[in-house]
Amino acid sequence: MQKMIELSPSTDTSCGSATSHAAVPLVVDMDGTLLRTNVSSANLLALAAGAPRSLLRLPRWLLQHRNLCRANIADIVLPPIESLPLNPDCVALITKRRAVGARVVLVSGADERIVAAVARQVGLFDEWYGSSRAINLSGANKAAEAVRLFGERGFDYIGDSVTDLPAWRAARHAYTLGASPALRARATKANASITHLAQSPGGLSWLTPLWRAMRPHQWVKNILVFAPLLAGHSFAAGHLAAAFFAFIAFSLTASSAYLVNDLFDLEADRAHPRKRHRPLAAGDLSLQRGGLAALSLAVCAGVISLTTLPLEFDLLLSLYFIATLSYSLWLKKKVFLDIFVLATLYTLRIIGGAVAIGISVSPWLLAFSMFFFLALAVVKRLVELQTVIRASPTRGSKRDYWAEDLGMIQALGAASGYLSVLVLALYFNSPEALALYSSPELLWGICPLLLFWISR
């Protein structure tokens, strides 16, 4: 614990009426109350990202007391706290209480080092207390600590979960924040002097941010699994059904990977002007639900694949999932390798569609997709690099690209794009095209359109 500011007492008006007492201290919970996220969960993710070998010790730590597990994790890594999403209703209450001279104290079951870092970052607290190796400041222990500091009914308390019931019961006045109707009823029973702030919609309302986090608009990329059907003119009902199941499996797998990526990219997303609005970064979706959803989606994709599609597709889907995770967590920061992996992920969808319906992939289709999707991947990187250059010409991007790489990337993209058009032109004059199309010469109109698009 550390003390920051001494405030003189004054009249407490936090409950809407003046009182003859000096301003009553306000005790604030951290996870889910001050913050729209769980810092201990974020710290576990930081451990997995920064020191993955330490996860091997996690089972042994979990057999110990929870506070010892948290302390062991905090010994190795601390989560980034600079861009943590604050709860505006809690900040408004704190500001109001400070304005009338009330002391504001942060008490949390998280490790004391994390609590101290958050308190200093927010800058609104006079004191702060967190769990140590000796004590876990959660539930009844948190209430006991508040009573030790300020006496029974000597403080007001704001919290958000069922673990806050003992503190609400011991407080002079209780505040719930984002509580469900059922929790509000229990809190009111624990303390009749209570104010409810920002009621949680409850029920299945978390499905809305989960749906956004799954990025269903990205599923359009998985339409590529139907490419082998179109290229081979294979429209049998069984083939269409198999391609549909492949589309669903790829989509669920991709959404699982997106969630994992967002869980490990919390710090970067919260510092990004656009990505900070993503459900996990903004705190609209809890980290626990995000992790469980990622696992559930991967399992559902696996079940669909195993029960409806060939074994070869199951193996390819596993390869796609591993490659996607590797790209999200590591390979996307490797110069040029990231571009080739991104292009490969597109091509894997086409191969997956062919494997699902049990036909061979046309070498023409593979050659075209390899060059065309490499060009698309280059365009994606080029846009990001140009944005960085406009912001700061002398600074490199977070993906290890620099302004000097711009010319080489442009050349790679142009060459790949032109090669894809060349492959397409050769295909239109091949025996395969002559066998499938009665007037393949009409397809030549596609080539100048692609050349124009690539040359822009």
Strands (DSSP E) contained in 55-169 are 104-111, 127-131, 156-159
Q: What is the pLDDT of residue 114?
A: 93
Q: Which three-class secondary structure state does DSSP give residue 285? A: coil
* 23 close to 96: Cβ distance less than 8 angstroms: no
Both tokens of 55, joined, read 């996860």
Q: What is the pLDDT of residue 64?
A: 77
Longest C-alpha distance within the chain, in Å? 95
- Enter the DSSP assignment of 273: T
Separation between Cα atoms, residue 297 and residue 453, nearest integer Å: 36
Separation between Cα atoms, residue 86 and residue 30, nearest integer Å: 10
Separation between Cα atoms, residue 137 and residue 130, nearest integer Å: 6
User: How do the domains of the chain map onto residue ranges?
Assistant: 26-197, 207-455
Separation between Cα atoms, residue 133 and residue 337, nearest integer Å: 44
Q: What is the pLDDT of residue 390?
A: 67
Q: Does domain 207-455 have CATH number 1.10.1740.10?
A: no
* 225 close to 292: Cβ distance less than 8 angstroms: no
Q: What is the pLDDT of residue 391?
A: 62
Separation between Cα atoms, residue 109 and residue 130, nearest integer Å: 6
- Whole-prediction pTM value? 0.80
Q: What is the CA radius of gyration of the chain?
A: 28
Residues of the chain with pLDDT under 70: 1-22, 201-203, 388-401, 403
Q: Which CATH superfamily is 26-197 part of? A: HAD superfamily/HAD-like (3.40.50.1000)
